[in-house]
Amino acid sequence: MKGDFSIDKRQARRTFGRAAAGYDEAAVLQHEIADRMLQRLDYVRLQPRRILDIGCGTGRASEALLRRYPRAEVVALDFALPMLEQARRRSRWRRRPRCLCGDMDSLPLAAQSFDLVFSNAAIQWSADPAGAIAEMHRVLRPGGLLMFSSFGPDTLHELRTAWAKVDGTPHVHGFIDLHDYGDMLVAAGLADPVMDMERLTLTYADTDALMRDLKAIGANNAASGRTRGLTGRARLQALRAAYERFRDASGRLPATYEVVYGHAWGAEQRREGGAVLVSPDSLRRR
């Protein structure tokens, strides 16, 4: 796996917390991806009793999971408390998810306690994605389903290229290739991992509109090596000029997202001498 994917977790938590109140209005792409993930559950024979929604944000997917599985208990987990406050306001009090403020890199949950672990567009904010996937497997029951989405390396390549013309510091988060995510699923001992990808494009009238959208969903630059402080007017103007090369025939500026989907099944496992030992019976294709 190449590239620097390190993030400042505290900065990411702050920006998502600030974005919570207006998140749903701006998170068009994230909602679309969640809807596509939920549609995939139509083809899965699973009646979960307990569901974990990791990186739940304002709880839109948690609410949809409660509707889909009315007999299930849903735990909505996020590392930004203001997001969870929005999630609690969304649902009726009789059918609310159990909200839990926690970090996906170290889940404050018992092992093998969930039948479905669902995570939409969240794992890219992990400080240790491989460790986060191992944690997801730890809390997943044998035979349970892990389903997640994230973003691949081509995400926001227009913005990354434009910033590269302005200075040499990271302004766009580093994203992980789907093959590397697949390797992480295998290394964590999950069974029958499947990865796939699609590209979705949003278009904007100008660069400022794109930057406002990213800020509104909390997706500000949280790279550990980012430049601290405010971005000067001259550099912003240089960014606008550099981005113009991507303007399309309809006069719009594109922002490309490489959307990565993954799912795998929980396997019987035990640890011995630091190695994960997986039972062959649990690897039978479901």
Whole-structure pTM value: 0.88
229 Rama class: left (phi>0) / alpha (psi -120 to 50) / beta: left
pLDDT at 36: 98
E runs forming strands in 44-109: 50-54, 73-78, 98-101
For residues 105-118, average pLDDT: 97
pLDDT at 233: 86
Whether 255 shows a pLDDT value over 50: the answer reads: yes
The top-scoring range by mean pLDDT among 14-18, 262-266, 270-274 is: 262-266
Whether 47 shows a pLDDT value over 70: the answer reads: yes
Whether 272 shows a pLDDT value over 60: the answer reads: no
Split at pLDDT 50, 70, 90, the class of 92 is low
Higher-confidence residue of 108 and 284: namely 108
| Chain-centroid distance, C-alpha 262 | 11
| Chain-centroid distance, C-alpha 52 | 14
Q: Are 144 and 161 in contact (CB under 8 A)?
A: no
pLDDT tens digit string along 117-139? Answer: 999 999 999 999 999 999 999 99
Domain ranges of the chain: 9-153+176-198+259-283
The pLDDT mean for the chain works out to: 88
| Separation of alpha carbons 13 and 27, rounded Å | 17
% residues pLDDT > 90 (the chain)? 77
Higher-confidence residue of 132 and 174: namely 132
Residues ≥6 apart with Cβ < 8 Å to 54: 77, 104, 107, 117, 118, 119, 122, 123, 136, 148
CATH topology of domain 9-153+176-198+259-283: Rossmann fold (3.40.50)
Residues ≥6 apart with Cβ < 8 Å to 244: 253
Residue 219 exposure: Cα atoms within 13 Å on the Cβ side: 22
What is the DSSP-derived secondary structure letter of residue 72? S
pLDDT tens digit string along 207-245? Answer: 999 999 999 998 865 554 445 444 678 999 999 999 999
pLDDT at 280: 38
Higher-confidence residue of 11 and 51: namely 51
Q: Are 167 and 234 in contact (CB under 8 A)?
A: no
Whether 250 shows a pLDDT value over 70: the answer reads: yes
